[in-house]
Amino acid sequence: MVCAADVAEKAVGVTVEDIRGSCPQNMIMLAIFGDTASVEAAMDEIKQREKRGVEEW
């Protein structure tokens, strides 16, 4: 998650926050804030990096 947040913030002008919930289930997720195009571009960059492999993170 830390790597994905780093990629998203460096790829485009978005803000990434770690969201943790504990009621009723323990959930951990990333929230990516920005305009729609920027968030989509950040998600695409994360997916592309994931496909290329862990070495490039």
The confidence band for 52, taking pLDDT boundaries of 50, 70 and 90, is confident
Residue 2 amino acid letter: V
pLDDT of residue 26: 81
Where are the strands (E) in the chain, listed by range? 15-21, 27-33
pLDDT of residue 54: 60
- In this predicted structure, the answer to whether residue 56 has a pLDDT above a threshold of 80 is no
**Do the beta carbons of residue 4 and residue 46 sit within 8 Å?**
yes
The reply to whether the predicted model has a pTM over 0.85 is: no
The confidence band for 55, taking pLDDT boundaries of 50, 70 and 90, is low
pLDDT tens digit sequence for 8-45:
999 998 999 998 887 777 888 999 999 999 999 999 99
Q: Classify residue 54 by its DSSP letter.
A: G
Burial of 37 (0-12, 13-18, 19+ CB in 10 A): exposed
